[in-house]
Amino acid sequence: MSRGLPLDAFTIASEVRSHERSARSVVEEVIESIERGDSEIRSFVSLMAESALKRAEVVDEIVANGCDPGRLAGVPVALKDNLCTKGAATTCSSRILEGWIPPYDATVVEKLRDAGAIVVGKTNMDEFAMGSSTETSFYGPTRNPHDTTKVPGGSSGGSAAAVAAGFVPLALGSDTGGSIRQPAALCGVVGMKPTYGRVSRYGLIAFASSLDQIGPFARSVAEAAALYEVISGHDERDSTSLLKSEQETTEEALTRGVAGLRVGVVTELLDAMAPQVVSRVREAADALGLSGADVEEVSIPELRYALSAYYLIAPAEASSNLARYDGVRYGLRVDADDVASMNAASRTAGFGPEVKRRIMLGTYALSAGYYDAYYGQAQKVRTLLIAAFDKVYERFDVLVGATSPETAFELGAKSSDPIAMYLSDVCTIPSNLAGHPAISVPFGSGEGGLPVGVQVLAPALHENEMFTVGAVIERAASDARNVGEAAT
């Protein structure tokens, strides 16, 4: 299934630092594999070959001078197309921003450069991150590398597919209601959403500002943890950025083990899920128990209201954030007889159907006479959900459940049914509403041999407990896979 570079991020960085291979040769291999293998998958919307090669030469020069380029020396990284990158088109996979080139880098892009990583391209996504299948993109859909008749999930489907196909070892996405974790589950890679405020949103083109968070994709929990450490930290340019806090390194967390940890298996994150998804989650929970964790089932009834609350809050924030695309300051402009007509014509031509649907829903929820009944009520539900999580975390250190209700579905299967598509996020949305971290770890397969992801949820600022549990689940999945291969 892998079409690209077989090496992990740690191996690449080590070999670049030790002169075993050059950063330039790594980038050349990556660009060649993308150009050769991505025509069917379409995980990338643009390659940054020239700038990537120039940056690789800088990394090689640093090494030649006897200095350390950083933790991710020479490691190729892909960026979701909603992360501002100076000098490179950043479009949110929308016609309304077609060809727009930001004059600055997002904070996470700066941090990648400081760590020696090399950005090789921008990945496809649902338009303005609104979708769960990467089918609403202006550039057309991305396909799942495991089965190209299936979706990769969304909205960060391009980043998930790029890692799953082996084009890059690491990628960044954004997660507003599950847009990192759900495609990670469907593509069989690791995807993580940090605590809200742990990673700067400066330079992330906003969808829903109180929910959006940037996070990593990788092929292992350890690589995801390393990328998280690189991009996290306080940023004065982001007013929602958390202040610096002391914490142990993720490396310590990955090797600690789960003995004595209290793990809750969430009933609501198993209800109405595909049987094989439920089986994999229970097998992962059993593995945690065998590794010394105290595992118990728990019900959080308030989770049943999360989806409804989210699809009022997120569209309401989107309707405000997307008001800036008016045909005047930047982006697409369709000329008309007056300003109001030009605004309307530009937005009509520039936005796709799903974006228009959510703008109208959000505008309605915020309108006079309906604000309290819809948006205000949804915020009360959000508060109720946060309180429910706080209560549960008095008993448990982490929670586990499904990441997605099912494995990857057919392209086009849900395109005409928005409600069915929205239900794809039912397992992931609660963590966004609460602002808590969560990670999806591949664990076996379901129908048709397609990947299944197990989700680990943790309280705010407890990423390390989440990584600890994720690493044990990952090892259990590897052990089970090795036993299966030996039996055949």
Please spell the DSSP secondary structure of 424-446, one letter per residue: GGTTTHHHHHHT--EEEEEEEE-
The confidence score (pLDDT) of residue 243 equals 87
The confidence score (pLDDT) of residue 487 equals 60
The confidence score (pLDDT) of residue 480 equals 77
The confidence score (pLDDT) of residue 482 equals 74
Q: What is the DSSP string of 362-377?
A: HHHHHSTTTTIIIIIH
CA distances, 137 to each of 94, 178, 447, 478 (Å)? 6, 17, 27, 34
Structure token digits, residue 82:
């909603």
Residue 407 carries which side chain, given as an amino acid letter? T
Structure token digits, residue 113:
């450069």
Q: Is 179 a catalytic residue?
A: yes
Of 137, 174, 179, 241, the active-site residue reads: 179
**Could you say which DSSP state residue 167 is in?**
S
H or E segment and range at residue 461: none
Q: What are the chain's domains?
A: 9-306+376-487 (3.90.1300.10)
**Could you say which DSSP state residue 217 is in?**
E
Phi then psi for residue 56, to 5 deg, are -60, -40
Distance CA 139, CA 130 (A): 14
Q: Is 440 a catalytic residue?
A: no
The confidence score (pLDDT) of residue 481 equals 77
The confidence score (pLDDT) of residue 465 equals 97
Residue 78 carries which side chain, given as an amino acid letter? A
Distance CA 126, CA 215 (A): 17
Phi then psi for residue 196, to 5 deg, are -60, 125
Distance CA 233, CA 213 (A): 13
Distance CA 242, CA 240 (A): 6
The confidence score (pLDDT) of residue 329 equals 84
What's the N-to-C CA distance of the chain in angstroms? 19
Of 155, 200, 404, 424, the active-site residue reads: 155
Q: Is 155 a catalytic residue?
A: yes
Residue 448 carries which side chain, given as an amino acid letter? G
CB contact set of 149 (below 8 Å; sequence gap of 6+): 143, 410, 411
Token pair 């202040």 is found at 243
Q: Residue 455 CB: number of other CB atoms within 10 A?
A: 32
The confidence score (pLDDT) of residue 6 equals 67
**Could you say which DSSP state residue 401 is in?**
E
Distance CA 237, CA 235 (A): 5
Of 22, 33, 80, 200, the active-site residue reads: 80
Check: CB of residue 121 under 8 Å from CB of residue 44: yes
Q: Is the dihedral of CA 257, 174, 211, 443 positive or negative?
A: negative
Each residue's pLDDT, cut to its tens digit, for the chain (488 residues) gives: 556 666 799 999 999 999 999 999 999 999 999 999 999 999 999 999 999 999 999 999 999 999 999 999 999 999 999 999 999 999 999 999 999 999 999 999 999 999 999 999 999 999 999 999 999 999 999 999 999 999 999 999 999 999 999 999 999 999 999 999 999 999 999 999 999 999 999 999 999 999 999 999 999 999 999 999 999 999 999 999 998 766 668 889 999 999 999 999 999 999 989 999 999 999 999 999 999 999 999 999 999 999 999 999 999 999 999 999 999 988 899 999 999 999 999 999 999 999 999 999 999 999 998 999 999 999 999 999 999 999 999 999 999 999 999 999 999 999 999 999 999 999 999 999 999 999 999 999 998 999 999 999 999 999 999 999 999 999 999 987 776 666 65
Check: CB of residue 76 under 8 Å from CB of residue 27: yes
Instruction: Please compute, for residue 178, the number of CA atoms within 13 A of its CA located in the half-sphere on the CB side.
Output: 33
The confidence score (pLDDT) of residue 110 equals 98
